Structure 1
Amino acid sequence: MSRRSGRAGSRGRSGHVVDGLRLGFGTLTVLQVPAPRSVDRDAAAVAMVTAVLPGAVVGLGVAATATLLVLLGVPAAPAGVAGVGAGVLLTRFLHVDGLADTADGLVAGRTAERALEVMRRGDVGPAGATVLVLVLGGQVLGVGAVVAGVASGAAPWWSGAQLVLAWAASRAVLALLCVRGLRPARSGGLGAAVVGSVPVALAPVPLLLCGAVGAVAGLGPAPAVLVPVAAAAAAGAVAWHGTRRLGGLTGDVLGAGVEVALLAAILVLAAT
């Protein structure tokens, strides 16, 4: 390879990284970032592998909101409501919308075509509403349980770090859900752009990173190990059922996997 072609290849790789980060932060958060110059499979893979970073940013917002309210004397339960609400706002309702649409689609009719049609409509039916209440309610209770220790004198950073870990791990599962070998359920939409884009060797890296950071931060072996495992198992169950029912994955199913993974992660923290 010539020196010129080597420099061109380097610029190409760095361009994919920049475009992937822009795609990830621009899609997964409310942050205003420049639009990616192009969205190809390499940029999509970068976005999914680095989705743990937007997840950590959202987790910081959640942790700051819930912890500050408890420090101001607000009971843990309302602080949990505010924290989860902040997380939803910081993601433009993206994942909860996917959760509701997925729930409605998976209970609608017997064919994949019928389920995908219901998911495309965007309105929320009884199944979607019920699942939203249960999943968000569980997240609220879990966040409240995590920050309740602050009112008892625990270090605020401890509870905050646990919440950041939970939110980061719930986005880290996107690399697993978009690993090569999985296929999109339809040709258009976010799912078609990202599903199947992540190399197998990179898919577990974000979750392993979450565990390593949790251990280094002193959160203890249980959160550092069990949170990534629980998040992966929960998201994997959603992806398995979605693939079996729809013939592949959609952006809505990815969002549902994120929210269920988050619930599993928070409940592990609340229990440990």
Structure 2
Amino acid sequence: MPELPEVETVRRTLENLVLGKTIEDITVKWAKIIKHPDDLAEFKSLLVGQTIRSIGRRGKFLKIILDDVVLVSHLRMEGRYVYVENGEEADKHTHVIFSFTDGSELRYRDVRKFGTMHVYPLGEEEAHLPLSQLGPEPFDPSFEPIELWNKLQKTTRKIKPVLLDQTVLVGLGNIYVDEALFKVGLSPEAEARSLSKKQVEKLHQAIVETLMEAVEQGGSTIRSYVNSQGDMGMFQQRLSVYARKGEPCLNCGTEIIRIVVGGRGTHICPSCQK
């Protein structure tokens, strides 16, 4: 599933491609992607005639901001947007097509059909699901280490499942949790509330640094992720533990192992993260 760096990369790419474009028509081939409103005619009427003014992001969600409404889009496992100018025929995995007045199209393609779309009046999107229950943004200057520490004190869960919880902190998934925990030498199995304020301060810094570096590299292409122009992310070339099972730790040379924590495959150095 695309995490914050991948979604931010898609946001930046779309911003360069579709700003100022006006929606002339919408074709929906897989109605289950549309979650709100659940009436397709209403969904289309809210968007047709609207011009895209900006592209935002909240956690792993894209916010396509138009004149009067906001389209909240979650890519889930395999979703991606493809910008098309030449009118080529859409493949079988293209489920929503936004046709613009200039003849170009923005197509939503999703092999697994897990993605979702919600449309709300401009300014009201944060008050409704799926955005209303999200935690703070890692890049928000107001999100300080003490706030993270306070959240960790309220749970007996292991640190990895807590960091994956989007109500605690948004944007993190398997890749970047593993990388951040390795960077500070923390075991993913450590009880969250057992961490000291100093450890949480270092973890907070590692999370921000890891995500920022990944954004600069265009995210990580592990399986199928590419941006809206078909370009791969490059951060996978800088991964320290994720997907490196059997390879030597970059710090100490110990073999990276894969364990399961909270039901999720997890990569660690058993020496650096005791």
Q: Is TM (by shorter chain) over 0.5? A: no
Pick 1 or 2: higher relative contact order, CA cutoff 8 A, min separation 6. 1
Q: TM-score, normalised by structure 2?
A: 0.29
Larger radius of gyration: 2
What TM-score, normalized by structure 1, do the two folds share?
Answer: 0.29
